[in-house]
């Protein structure tokens, strides 16, 4: 199973797409449906307080906003600030490692590392771009691709799933790493062959919401020191010529991501456990959940930040990314990791410049949250923060 994500800015990496497309594109006989350059849907971040199908509010976060509530943002900032290098037993040590791991299907591995899931990662992917970027920590941070083709949401929704054993034995162990050193996970997932769309009560988006929540709990069991999960949605699938995961299911995956994160936010604020997502307490059964880069745009109709998806971005089935889309997603994920206040403290080598908090692909933070984030990050990098466990802002408190 494979699927895709979003695009936006290119991070100072020159990519000769022309020759790469042949190497990265599959030889599928079915051609993309290039005539469907738009499906007429509003990206969830542009939808705001508007309603999809007259029922489902937009915005990446609650209340039609594209920024998390202050308490949730403070939790994420605190966790990013408290990130420490760990040894194989999960104990803090200056000579240890911080592991960022990907989990997902074929689109995920293609954009993160390679179509085969094996190293060396293609230079135009996220890992390839990060490996040569001067702002990335190449000393303490280790980036590991755990995603693999055909491994959709059901392959990761239980801690007993064999994919976790595969990651442990074939991805972590060869690098001298253990599950106790994994502290951040990027998840991009979907269900193959969906047939029921919103607003049906049995819609794939609701099933995916539950699967993403199950993955969060499984991650916490397998990686007990995991502090943060970043979720991303799929890229445009209007060019799809198969039933693997076409529109509107690619679009509606954004609502699944939105809803599972909102379930944790609401629970932390005292709203109780979500009936579909289940328990997502970030102090016990799940890591902190947040949006990674938001990837869906309506084909050739520019999103508010200019994002578009062309037919040439896709492989012949219109669902899997070609090298051009792999590079786009890789660049967006890299920019996100460099700039987000939830990742900059542990992802960046140093903060020579203030992170571009409103760069394309970034979650937009209010001025109050931006100021709080910058203060925390600057304290760490100036050596003035001696407390490895910053006090959390709890629900109901303000920054």
User: Domain map of the chain by residue range?
Assistant: 17-382
| Nearest-angstrom CA–CA distance, 120 and 133 | 16
Bridge-based pairing state of the strands 56-57 and 98-104 = unpaired
Dump pLDDT digits (tens) for 251-280: 999 999 999 999 999 999 999 999 999 999
Q: List, in order, residues 6 or more apart from 55 with CB less than 8 Å away.
A: 198, 199
pLDDT band at 30 (very low <50, low <70, confident <90, very high): low
Q: Is the pLDDT of residue 374 over 50?
A: yes
pLDDT of residue 391: 38
pLDDT band at 399 (very low <50, low <70, confident <90, very high): very low
Q: What is the mean pLDDT of the chain?
A: 86
* Cβ atoms of residues 64 and 52 within 8 Å: no
pLDDT of residue 321: 96
Dump pLDDT digits (tens) for 339-363: 999 999 999 997 645 444 444 344 5
Per the listing, tokens 């903060």 go with: 351
pLDDT band at 32 (very low <50, low <70, confident <90, very high): confident
Dump pLDDT digits (tens) for 296-334: 999 999 999 999 999 999 999 999 999 999 999 999 999
Mean pLDDT, residues 53-78 taken together: 96
Dump pLDDT digits (tens) for 239-250: 999 999 999 999
pTM of the predicted structure, to 2 decimals: 0.84
At residue 237, φ and ψ (nearest 5 deg) are -125, 20
At residue 188, φ and ψ (nearest 5 deg) are -135, 115
pLDDT of residue 367: 63
| Nearest-angstrom CA–CA distance, 174 and 67 | 38
| CATH match for 17-382 among 3.40.190.10, 3.40.50.1110, 3.30.360.10, 1.10.4160.10 | 3.40.50.1110
pLDDT of residue 112: 97
Per the listing, tokens 């200056």 go with: 94
């Amino acid at each position: 199973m494979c699927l895709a994500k979003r695009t936006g800015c290119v991070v100072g990496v020159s990519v000769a797409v022309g020759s790469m497309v042949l190497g990265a594109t599959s030889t599928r006989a079915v051609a993309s449906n290039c005539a469907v350059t738009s499906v007429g849907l509003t990206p969830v971040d542009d939808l705001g307080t508007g309603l999809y199908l007259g029922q489902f509010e937009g915005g990446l976060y609650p209340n039609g906003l594209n920024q998390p509530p202050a308490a949730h943002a403070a939790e994420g900032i605190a966790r990013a600030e408290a990130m420490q290098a760990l040894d194989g037993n999960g104990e803090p040590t200056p000579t240890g490692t911080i592991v960022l791991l990907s989990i997902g299907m074929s689109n995920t591995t293609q954009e993160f590392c390679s179509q085969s899931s094996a190293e060396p990662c293609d230079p135009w992917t996220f890992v390839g771009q990060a490996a040569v970027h001067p702002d990335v920590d190449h000393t303490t941070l280790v980036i590991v691709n755990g995603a693999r083709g055909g491994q959709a949401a059901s392959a990761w929704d239980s801690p007993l799933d064999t994919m976790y054993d595969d990651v442990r034995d074939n991805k972590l162990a060869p690098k001298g790493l253990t599950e106790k050193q994994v502290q951040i996970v990027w998840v991009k997932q979907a269900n193959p062959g969906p047939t029921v769309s919103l607003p049906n009560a049995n819609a794939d988006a609701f099933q995916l919401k539950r699967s993403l929540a199950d993955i969060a709990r499984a991650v916490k069991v397998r990686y007990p020191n995991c502090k943060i999960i970043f979720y991303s949605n799929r890229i445009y699938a209007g060019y799809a010529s198969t039933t693997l995961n076409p529109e509107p299911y690619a679009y509606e995956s954004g609502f699944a991501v939105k809803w599972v994160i909102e379930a944790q936010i609401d629970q932390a604020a005292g709203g109780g456990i979500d009936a579909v997502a289940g328990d997502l307490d970030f102090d016990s059964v799940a890591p902190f959940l947040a949006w990674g880069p938001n990837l869906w745009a309506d084909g050739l109709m520019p999103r508010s930040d200019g994002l578009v998806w062309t037919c040439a971005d896709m492989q012949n089935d219109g669902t899997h990314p070609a090298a051009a889309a792999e590079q786009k997603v890789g660049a967006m994920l890299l920019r996100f990791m460099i700039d987000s206040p939830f990742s900059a403290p542990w992802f960046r080598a140093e903060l020579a410049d203030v992170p571009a908090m409103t760069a394309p692909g970034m979650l937009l933070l209010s001025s109050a949250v931006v100021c709080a984030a910058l203060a925390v990050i600057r304290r760490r990098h100036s050596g003035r923060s001696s407390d490895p466990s910053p006090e959390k802002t709890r629900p109901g408190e303000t920054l």
